Chain A
Amino acid sequence: MSGIFSKRNSALLLLIIAVAASLSIVSYNYSAHTSEQIEEIAVHEIRSNAEIQVHDLSNSLANKLADVTNNLNIIAKSPSVRQADFESARTMIDNAELASEDIVDFYMWLDKDGKIVWISNINQTTYEQYRGFDLSYRSYFIHPRDTLQAYYSSVTDSNDRILRLYISYPIIILNEGESFAGVVVAGVRTGVLGEFLEGQISPQLQSQVGLLDNRGIILYSKDTPYTGKNVFGVRYQSFLSSLDPESVNSINSGFKAALYSEAGSKDTAIGDTKVTFAYQPVILEGQQFGVLYIFAPHGQATAAAALIDQQEDLTMLMIIGIAASASGIIFVIFLWNKRLQQTVDTRTAELRKANEQLKAHDRMQQEFINIAAHELRTPVQPILGMTEMLESEMPDKSDDIEMIARNARRLQRLTEDILDVAKIESKSLKLKKTRFEIGEVMINLLNDYGRQKIVNGDVRFRYEPKEEVTIEADKDRITQVVSNLLDNALKFTKKKGTITITTEKQQDGQLTVRVADEGPGIDPEIFPRLFTKFVSRSQKGTGLGLFISKSIVEAHGGKIWAENNSDGKGASFYFTLPLSSDQASKIVEGEKTGETLS
């Protein structure tokens, strides 16, 4: 196992871990940054929505209250009220309530002394209880009486213990000047007002809405204990003191700004909950009626950020998982690689050993050939040498000596053939290639045959080359091939006939050499084995010549074959050799131009 944790492998593992760690950090930072950005965008969205919501709510409330004020104005200025036509006025007041019952609790008519004349939609029994009831001490009577202007009360604890907001309008009789004739009042339950406001808020915002009058007194708040309290008063400030000072400042400064008719929003916190505090003045008939505010929690933004955080955790987990998997896979690969390396090492050692054995075998084989060559050639030397000496010293015994010499040369030929076969079979036959003209080989061989008086009787050689042909080959070995084929032809030509040698350049860049005789032709029995070892119909041959010739030709990249002549007289042996490159290119050029090479 120690091999697995080599310096290189350890470095690779460390690199993977470092990459995983870097990816984790980058991913964490990116996720954190993204989370912050998304939260910021979400908060911005919540803030915008809160500002829009509080603005719309303010307008909606103002319109609603304006409708009520308008109803009061119509009632106060109606002839029936001015002329104290009770029945007509009562009907109109009842109808006004029906028209605005979603917000108005009741309409009430007070006479100039502040006593109840009529309360809308009240039954007779209750009416009798309240008829003439003196409400002249109420601000909603005093203020319009004294100013002859519409009046909007703060939250007021009514006689029935219900908190209401009152809007009152003076009844003025224009008769030689303006004379006060009473007040029409609309009672709006702060609870109903709150329900109206809550109903206007989009449920997705999950906001809390509140309403102050223009002095800062809470007209509506879900926290009912603070209704009727001033936001700058002790109780509410005591409530705010539980928050952090920054939040308190934000909320107070928001209230102050709104009371000075400014709209706006602030991000703050109530306890652990981040909220947007949006505020908007409510304007009625050009005057500030109060302040509408909402607290919009950042729950969705926080949830989105939390989701991003979850995603971030998941991403981290995935990166760590991938890194762990990668490390595991790398470990397995290292392990496998090590085993593979061991197998490769074993096989390499085996191959090296086999190679060395083969080399040793080759050396032994070469050594055997060398020794065989030495041992076979050496005895021939004295025999041949002595016959040569005797020929010159004993001319009268020339036939006998020639017999010895002939057999010694046969033995020499056999020796050389056996050595060649050994070289071919051990694949140690080496070629010494040179450029030469094939005609030289033919002429030299034919001269040798003539000089050695090998040709007897009427056997003739015919060689009439039409052109010089240069090849790149082992001259001695090609000479050996042609000599083998000529020997073969001579053996079967007997005492009369012509042996024809032709050389011809082929279009495919090959030289074809043909040796044709006029002998009996090739025996069908040996035809299939013609170029194998020890195949001969002649008593003189070793049966190795054609096998050696085939090997030499094929070592040059050529082919060798034989066929009986078509005229039924004799056989032809062919072999091909690649032409030298310049000769081959001349043929290609000739093909292109259509010229005939001379």
Chain B
Amino acid sequence: MSSPNEPPSKRTVMICEDEEDILDLYSSFLQRKFNVITALSGEACLSLYREERDRGKKVDILLLDYRLGDMLGDQVACKIKEWDDTKTILITAYEVDDSVLVDLRERECIIAEMKKPVSLPDLEKMIQQLLT
């Protein structure tokens, strides 16, 4: 679940996705340019995030699936928002109501949302934009 040792210059992207194939896909693609941490559930995501923070590491971007196995992505996003100002991108195949997304954006729990299937180059492009 945790990332291998990467050069310190790489920015850290945490991916939380309960579909293992998709998690591997995102991870494989983004590892080429980012330090990637993966989590298969909401609880695991929160736990790993806390660990990273305790170790003094910063998670720059959080890619968060909406419908996780154990909880919803908005709960995870808002919890992490309480701890830190990590930029969270909500990625969902689910038909999330617009009012929910507007609310999450207004409360700054998320910074952007993308609908599955996402284009990997588009995803990378968005991450790069948010990191600059």
Contacts and interface: CB of A to CB of B under 8 A. Distances in A.
Interface of A: 366, 369-370, 373-378, 380-386, 388-389, 408, 412, 419, 430, 432
B71 interface: no
The secondary structure that dominates the A interface is helix
Interface centre among B26, B92, B116, B121 (most CB of A within 10 A): B116
B106 interface: no
A156 to B, nearest CB: 129
Contacts of A384: 117, 119
7 residue pairs, one from A and one from B, having the closest CB atoms: A377-B93, A381-B117, A385-B25, A374-B93, A382-B21, A380-B117, A370-B95
A388 B120 contact: yes
Contact of B22 (A370, A373, A382, A432): A382
Interface string B13-29: 00000010110011011
A377 B116 contact: yes
B44 interface: no
B13 to A, nearest CB: 15
Contact of A412 (B25, B98, B117, B121): B117
A466 B26 CA distance: 46
B130 interface: no
Given A374-B67, A388-B119, A432-B98, A382 B93 contact: no
B94 interface: yes
30 contacts: A369-B95, A370-B94, A370-B95, A373-B95, A374-B67, A374-B92, A374-B93, A374-B94, A375-B93, A376-B93, A377-B93, A377-B115, A378-B22, A378-B93, A378-B116, A380-B117, A381-B19, A381-B116, A381-B118, A382-B22, A384-B119, A385-B22, A385-B117, A386-B25, A388-B121, A389-B25, A389-B28, A389-B120, A408-B117, A430-B98
A349 B94 CA distance: 35
Contacts of B29: 385, 388-389
A412 B119 CA distance: 12
A378 B19 contact: yes
Which residue among A380, A386, A388, A430 has the maximum number of chain B CB atoms within 10 Å of its CB? A388
Contacts of B94: 370, 373-374
Interface string B95-106: 100100000000
Contacts of A432: 98
Interface string B21-48: 1100110110000000000000000000
A377 B67 CA distance: 13
Interface string B57-99: 0000000000100000000000000000000000011110010
A388 B122 CA distance: 11
Interface of B: 19, 21-22, 25-26, 28-29, 67, 92-95, 98, 115-121
A374 B29 CA distance: 22
Contacts of A373: 93-95
B128 to A, nearest CB: 16
B120 to A, nearest CB: 5
A413 to B, nearest CB: 11
A293 B48 CA distance: 135
A386 B119 CA distance: 10
A420 to B, nearest CB: 11
A382 B29 CA distance: 11
Contacts of B119: 384, 388
Contact of A381 (B22, B95, B98, B121): B22
Contacts of B28: 389
B42 to A, nearest CB: 16
A366 B117 CA distance: 20
Contacts of A382: 19, 21-22, 25
Given A385-B117, A386-B25, 6 more contacts: A366-B95, A376-B93, A378-B93, A381-B117, A388-B120, A389-B29
Of the listed residues A369, A381, A382, A389, the one surrounded by the most CB atoms of chain B closer than 10 A to its CB is A381
Nearest to A432: B98
Nearest to A370: B95
A378 B17 CA distance: 11
Contacts of A380: 116-117
Nearest to B119: A388
A381 B115 CA distance: 10
Contacts of A377: 93, 115-117
A56 B29 CA distance: 141
A419 B118 CA distance: 17
B110 to A, nearest CB: 18
A340 B89 CA distance: 58
A406 B11 CA distance: 33
Contacts of B98: 430, 432
Contacts of B121: 388
A39 B121 CA distance: 114
A375 B120 CA distance: 20
Nearest to B26: A385
A419 B21 CA distance: 23
B119 to A, nearest CB: 7
A349 B116 CA distance: 43
Contacts of A376: 93
A419 to B, nearest CB: 7
A401 B16 CA distance: 28
